[in-house]
Amino acid sequence: MRGSAVRLPLIVLLASLAACGSSLRVIAIQLGRSLNQDHTVADHTTSFAPDDTIYVSVRTAGVGSGTITARWSYRGRVLDEPKKDVSYTDVAATDFSLRSVAGFPPGEYSVEVLLDGQPAGSRTFRVVAR
Q: What is the pLDDT of residues 5-57, one digit of tens each?
A: 545 454 444 444 444 445 999 999 999 999 999 999 999 999 999 999 999 99
Distance CA 92, CA 114 (A): 16
Residue from 47, 82, 50 nearest 67 by CA: 82
- Whichever domain contains 37, its CATH number is 2.60.40.10
Inter-residue contact 126 to 46 (CB < 8 Å): yes
Which residue range forms the structural domain that includes residue 48? 23-127
Any domain includes 10:
no
For 37, other C-beta atoms within 10 Å of its C-beta total: 6
> Considering its fold, how many domains does the chain have in total?
1
Q: For the chain, report the end-to-end CA distance as a whole number of angstroms.
A: 77
Any domain includes 53:
yes
Whether the predicted model's global pTM rises above the 0.75 cut: yes
Any domain includes 81:
yes
The runs of H, that is alpha helices, within 1-130 are: 2-21
pLDDT, position 10: 43
Q: What DSSP character marks residue 104?
A: P
The predicted-structure confidence for 77-102, as pLDDT tens digits, reads as follows: 999 999 999 999 999 999 999 999 99
